[in-house]
Amino acid sequence: MGARLWTYGLLAAFLGAWEAGCRITDISELILPAPSVVLTTLWHGLSTGYLLPHIWLTGAEMLLGLAAGCGIGFVCGIVLGETAFLRRVLYPYIIASQVVPKLALVPLFILWFGFGMTSTVIITALICFFPLLENTMTGIAHIDPQKRELFRMLGATRMQTLFRLKIPSGLPVILAGLRVAVVLALVGAVVAEFIAGREGLGAMIIASQGMMDSPQMFALLVVITALGMLFYQATLLAERWVLRRHMKGTGQ
């Protein structure tokens, strides 16, 4: 409990110093708006419902991209993890696809899929794909050799070994990949909107910049941070639920 108190205390101290600093130096709102100003703007945006469609849109893009990227990453991770030949053939391509800065692809995607949701979702999916692929491959590869021999001894088929030994054993590692993907997904969605979006929180930041509306930019940052923390916490809860049987007896 002590640590949590400190966490909130630190936040309060930081905001207090910021507010005081703004008032004392009388700095322009354009450069650094005081927290009270940001809060007023944020409240206005939320209470008038002005921000809500943008929050929904970015949230939806993120979720769709996350689902598609993680789903495909998981399946590919299993296929590559199970077939050494495919892994050797395809892995260099996967690495290459990951070192390409994906956000640099956005202009191309705009050309192919137009402005808006499709391009953003595809970019987000591409970003989420790799952590799941990597962690799924790692998760199902590092199985206790004695447990593998146990399954051989019991005459388990390859599919049974996969679904009843490898995936359940690898689940903690796979879900750690999901947690990474969630964080990257929000970054991906927002930054893709910078370029490809007409609506959504990322597009709003660019619009606010155009209008030199710094308080609104800060308000949007607060919203994006809150959205990210919400998703992250939800992932932690989901992870705990999925692993509830793994965790029995570990005192967690």
Partner 1 sequence: MGFLRIDGASYTYPPDETVVNGVDWAIDQGAFHCLVGRSGCGKTTLLKLAAGLLPPSRGAVHIQDAPVTEPSPQVGFVFQNPTLLDWLTAMENVLLPVSLKRRPRVADRGRAAELLALVGLAEYAGRHPRELSGGQQSRVAIARALVNEPLVLLMDEPFAALDAITREELQADLLRLCASRRTTVLFVTHDIAEAVYLADRVAVMAEGRVRDTLDIDLARPRAPDLRYSPRFNELCRAARQAMDAA
Contacting residues toward partner 1, per CB under 8 A: 144, 146-147, 149-156, 160, 164-165, 168-169, 245-246, 248-250
Token pair recorded at residue 172: 């903690």
Tell me whether residue 105 or residue 167 sits nearer to partner 1 (CB atom).
167
CB of 121 closer than 8 Å to CB of 68 = yes
Q: Shortest distance, CB of residue 239 to partner 1, whole angstroms?
A: 14
CB of 148 closer than 8 Å to CB of 164 = no
Tell me whether residue 71 or residue 168 sits nearer to partner 1 (CB atom).
168
Tell me whether residue 74 or residue 151 sits nearer to partner 1 (CB atom).
151
The alpha-carbon radius of gyration of the chain (Å, integer) is 23
Cα–Cα distance, 236 to 239 (Å, whole number): 5
Tell me whether residue 44 or residue 246 sits nearer to partner 1 (CB atom).
246
Q: Shortest distance, CB of residue 40 to partner 1, whole angstroms?
A: 50
Q: Shortest distance, CB of residue 144 to partner 1, whole angstroms?
A: 7
Q: Is 94 exposed, middle or buried (0-12, 13-18, 19+ CB in 10 A)?
A: middle
Q: Is 78 exposed, middle or buried (0-12, 13-18, 19+ CB in 10 A)?
A: buried
Token pair recorded at residue 58: 């970015």
Tell me whether residue 121 or residue 165 sits nearer to partner 1 (CB atom).
165
Rounded-to-10 torsion of CA 161, 167, 173, 179 = 170
Tell me whether residue 23 or residue 152 sits nearer to partner 1 (CB atom).
152
Q: Shortest distance, CB of residue 43 to partner 1, whole angstroms?
A: 46
Q: What are the DSSP calls for 89-105, one per residue?
A: HHHHHHHHHHHS-GGGG
CB of 18 closer than 8 Å to CB of 187 = no
Q: Shortest distance, CB of residue 171 to partner 1, whole angstroms?
A: 8
Q: Shortest distance, CB of residue 214 to partner 1, whole angstroms?
A: 51
